[in-house]
Amino acid sequence: EPEVTQTPSHQVTQMGQEVILRCVPISNHLYFYWYRQILGQKVEFLVSFYNNEISEKSEIFDDQFSVERPDGSNFTLKIRSTKLEDSAMYFCASTADFFNYGYTFGSGTRLTVV
Amino acid sequence: GENVEQHPSTLSVQEGDSAVIKCTYSDSASNYFPWYKQELGKRPQLIIDIRSNVGEKKDQRIAVTLNKTAKHFSLHITETQPEDSAVYFCAPNNQAGTALIFGKGTTLSVSS
C-alpha cells in the first residue's frame, strides 16, 4: 500500500533556530497538507497545498511558517524561528484528487524545541 | 467554521463489551463523516467513513451511524478487544480537498 513518508522521525532544535520538515506524498496525489498535534491534544490543521500554492491555511500558520514543493516529490514545512510552543508532532497528509475525501497521513515528525 | 464536539472524552470498557462514541458538528453543509483511530505515538488512521446519502455503514466490528437532521454521527465498536484501545477522532468535512477539522478525541481503554 502506498505511503506518505516523513523525515526526520524526531528532531530536536534550539529555540530560535530554523527547521525544515520533509514529506514525500503518495506519487499520484495532488493535495498536500500539514497538521500538528501537541502532546495529548487534538490534531490541528495548519495548511493545504495544491497546484504549487497554498489553498487554505489556519490561524496557526503565521509568518513563521512556510511550505514548499521544491521538486516533483518533496513537500516541506519550514519554521523560521522556532519557539518552545512549536514542540509537537507534525503530520503530513495527501489526497488523490478533489473528489476523494480520503486522507493518507505520514508517520509524523516529532519536533522538540529546547 | 465547523465546530466539532466529541463525547465522551474517555471511555473504559471490558473486553467484549460495546463502545459508542458520538460526534456533534455545526456545519449543516458537512457531507463526509470519517472516524480516525490513533494509537499512542502513531499516525491517525481512517477506520470508517460515511457519506451524507447513507445512514449507516458497517465494517466487521465497527459501524458508523449518521443523523444529519440532528447533526451528529456515532462510532460503534462491538466485541471490543484490547487492541481497540486508542484515541478516536471524528473529522466531519463539507468539501473534498479541504481541511479536516478534528474533534478533541475520545480515549478508549479496553481492559481484559
Q: Supply the DSSP string of A15-35, one letter for each residue.
A: TT--EEEEEE--TT--EEEEE
| Cβ–Cβ gap A101/B96 under 8 Å | yes
Interface A-B, measured as beta-carbon pairs within 8 A, has a size of 55
How much of chain A, in percent, has pLDDT values that exceed 90?
Answer: 79
Lowest-confidence segment of B2-6, B10-14, B105-109 by average pLDDT: B2-6
Best mutation target, A5, A46, A60, A101, to test chain B (most B CBs within 10 A): A101
Average pLDDT, chain A: 93
Q: DSSP label at B79? A: S
Lowest-confidence segment of A91-95, B36-40, B98-102, B103-107 by average pLDDT: B98-102
Residue B95 binned pLDDT confidence (cut-offs 50, 70, 90): confident
- d(C-alpha A103, C-alpha A110), whole Å: 20
For chain B, give the number of residues: 112
Closest CB from A33, A41, A91 relative to B43:
A91
